Amino acid sequence: MNGGFDLSCAKYVKIGTPHAADCPPGKEDDAGLCYVACKHGFHGVGPVCWGSTPSGWVGCGMGAAKDSRTCGEVIFSQVAAVGQIAMTVATLGTSTAATGAATAVKSVTKLAKLKK
């Protein structure tokens, strides 16, 4: 053909017997991929090793909290922080002066609670 292309060329495809992934020593399989094995007491999900929730605590998203109320407060604070960042971006920074003082007081109060 002109230009070196021959569309009548077929590729050879060999279909074998599928098998589970064989990971080398020190690695573990998760969803068909091999990752570094986690330390004893942790379990892996993809490339992240997760620890167990301490005895007497509750699972709280990607962490743990001493009780459900603390978990709720922390998650609410994290969500509110995202909202505050969105407001700062949307107002090109003009909203930070109004909320800065209130946020500072809340942060100091929360820090004192966490230290207890």
Phi and psi angles of residue 27, each rounded to the nearest 5 degrees, phi first: -125, 155
pLDDT of residue 104: 62
Residue with tokens 């999900």: 45
Mean pLDDT over the full length of the chain: 80
Phi and psi angles of residue 19, each rounded to the nearest 5 degrees, phi first: -145, 160
pLDDT of residue 89: 85
pTM value surpassing 0.75 = no
Residues of the chain short of pLDDT 70, as ranges, are 1-10, 19-21, 95-116
pLDDT of residue 4: 65
- In a 13 Å sphere around the CA of 111, the CA atoms on its Cβ side amount to 6
**In what helix (H) or strand (E) does residue 48 lie, and over which residues does it extend?**
strand 48-51
Q: Do residues 29 and 19 touch, judged by C-beta distance below 8 A?
A: no
Residue with tokens 């589970």: 20
pLDDT of residue 14: 77
pLDDT of residue 11: 72
pLDDT of residue 6: 65
pLDDT of residue 32: 84
Rounded Cα gap, residues 24 and 82, in angstroms: 41
